[in-house]
Structure 1
């Protein structure tokens, strides 16, 4: 479409669809099965409403957003370092951040779910979280005054069913894309995006950290034991695979938005990034299934002095994506 400005035709800028999934140019191809569930505005907004709805917990006290807070990259906050649920029940793991989920094949710290569509079921049915059978979740949605019409409008269905509940939630979570930090602008050609301190930190990061936290997702999606448990009480990946070699291994988290996702590690052991680096340089000890990239030959593998730690921390803060943390499309709304 064109409009006339004086004598010259001027092309209008095409309207950007903020509810359409667009792969960041420097990211790998997504692994999510979009052929079965394309994101659209109505499905996304329905998923957003479900994500923020406390009536989908047994006593109506918590929602998904209770443990996944946008300003903290959809992670938990320091006030409750472990996931929590109905009747103030406390879990044993820190609720991880949610972003760039379209590029992952397994979910949760132990990888116990192998498709994003099924991830919410564990939260609904967990006794220490929402404590409600998924069957009852669907029933409550079906009995509500307005949800059935919203599902019909979004998916063209006459009856609310479990798969469409999960599709709506996935549409909301799939749009949690974080790819516009200072680092992203730098790797896409803006050589002024990082200062000298941050550039030195990037150099050190690539030397000491990238073998596990691979760019651009800043995780290799593997499972490793980094020695964060002094005494192993949480078996981690072994609970899923039943393989002893997987004992105390947990999914390598992305470091994107790490500045705002404290506390760190699955057991919320560290409050600061300096404590994390101190652990890797001084706190790792020999342990069953300890990862050889963090401990080998009787000592920690990573060696950093105080200045180098400051430089790496400066770089890690360039992974903060303010636009993602404040994007209004994620705000709780009943529209």
Structure 2
């Protein structure tokens, strides 16, 4: 499988399609594949040309850790494999329900603990990319400056190669760029959640990778009704609602390629195949939809960035 490649952080060549490891553990909810299936999915993804895997030490449930699955399946890692992790808010225990200013995961100790947990569970000496994940609640009084400065210090210690930010606004990205070089932005974005269109353009102009999570809906599958509620699909994309419904089915699959643009399955026959034959892509062929390819040509999406 041949995929376009993009440069992440100025020196990491990654395939345009990556793989998100969250659902390999069933975290935070939902079904998960068996261990052998999860390992096979990871190996198959790499065989097909995926070299950008997104994970986190807190993607864990019932003793199953995504990082440990990745290590078991792929270590010693291929030379070109880029593993992107995250630390910060939305980590573990009571932190999930706390306002951002009170999250222990955003404290200096919490951030170091998260970085070290990722290093240890992945079995590496340095993390390729670490995203600072900001919280969802009561953000107005929270600055990312302090947490990002902590991660910058850890980078200077040699524990991190590149820094990214996640769940941020355009203003927060500007604040982050004044503190440290930012390799990527990882935010919620899909056909029915396109509030970040201006931020996508800003990242393109700055040469920063915009990496959408839940590109095919995640916990809220993309349906024709949701698209209509948002004013319909973007101009240039498929007009019919059918392919979007199929994309929702992919999002619910335990081996869902969660963080990258993916072509929806082409009908019921392929959906049944995805259930019977686990693959690195949840049974779906990966690649940008026609409309997205047009937007790439216009420079409106994924130009000079590693969309996964």
Q: TM-score range by the shorter chain?
A: under 0.3
Normalised by the size of structure 2, how large is the TM-score? 0.27
Say which structure is richer in strand: 2
Structure having the higher Rg:
1
Normalised by the size of structure 1, how large is the TM-score? 0.26
